[in-house]
Amino acid sequence: MRVLAFFAHPDDETLMAGGTLALLARAGHEVFVLAATRGEGGERGDPPLCEPEELGAVRSAELACAVRALAARGPFFLGYRDPDIGPNGELFPFAADDDAVARRLLPWLRQVRPHLLLTHGSRGEYGHPAHVQVHRVARAALAALPPAQRPAWYTPLAYVPDVPLEGLFNPEPAHWVVSLGPALEAKVQAALCHRTQHDLFRRAGQVRLGQPVSVEAFIAAVPLETWRRADTDAEPADGPLGRALGPAARRV
Ligand SMILES: [Zn+2]
């Protein structure tokens, strides 16, 4: 199968989907990683690893490193600039017009012709407006394709009751729980590529685990990923993501 993973910023592909992408690649599927922005407006590390105007290039290189670690193709970029974080930590969508973004996404869908499309979920995981925008744009772009050309669409961090990911869920229940197994190490290596975001990862890890943690421990603490079929509620027991992943994916 061909898989298009479309996320807002460099590092989303790893944090939300890295293990699944690595498993898909190992199973022989072609995995394309497409980012809406180069993460130009994000954090630069503490102490900063680069100047503000260098951040887009630095994070593009970090994403290239992560894509190699996951054995995926790319990275590819939709060409939007990531807005700077506001003075009180406000986050913003990357484009004023969803339809214009959908028109930029459509050629990727038509040329890659993915069987699976993986994007942000309905709540943008933790409410990030750029993530929610990607979700809306995916819905609009799929609606513009003839039904026979529409990939099966899945969103990550789908809700399951027994996984410790406080504050990081989309509200819809999961259809699939993916055990990362040996792909967890690829996800750790991909996370290590995103050096400008390590301080952010360690802060998130401290919140999640209640103590100071390394980047490796933050990622390794959750050895699974969850997915929701987003283009239909009727995901069969042998749905496309499960067929692509084999025994690593459990229908819930
Ligand atoms: Zn993001």
Q: Residue 210: CB partners within 8 Å, gap ≥ 6? A: none
pLDDT grade for 164, boundaries at 50, 70 and 90: low
Cα(154) to ligand 1 centroid in Å equals: 17
| pLDDT tens track for 177-225 | 999 999 999 999 999 999 999 999 999 999 888 899 999 999 999 999 9
pLDDT reading at 132 higher than 90: yes
pLDDT for the residue 209: 85
Mean pLDDT value across residues 95-122: 98
For the whole model, what pTM was predicted? 0.96
Cα(157) to ligand 1 centroid in Å equals: 13
Q: How far is CA 225 from the centre of its chain?
A: 11
Q: Where do the domains of the chain lie, and which CATH numbers do they carry?
A: 2-251 (3.40.50.10320)
Cα(148) to ligand 1 centroid in Å equals: 30
Q: Is the Cβ–Cβ distance between 78 and 35 less than 8 Å?
A: yes
pLDDT for the residue 84: 94
Query: Other CB atoms closer than 10 Å to residue 236's CB: what's the count?
Result: 12
pLDDT for the residue 207: 87
Q: Higher model confidence: residue 242 or residue 165?
A: 242
Cα(114) to ligand 1 centroid in Å equals: 22
Cα(198) to ligand 1 centroid in Å equals: 14
pLDDT for the residue 165: 63
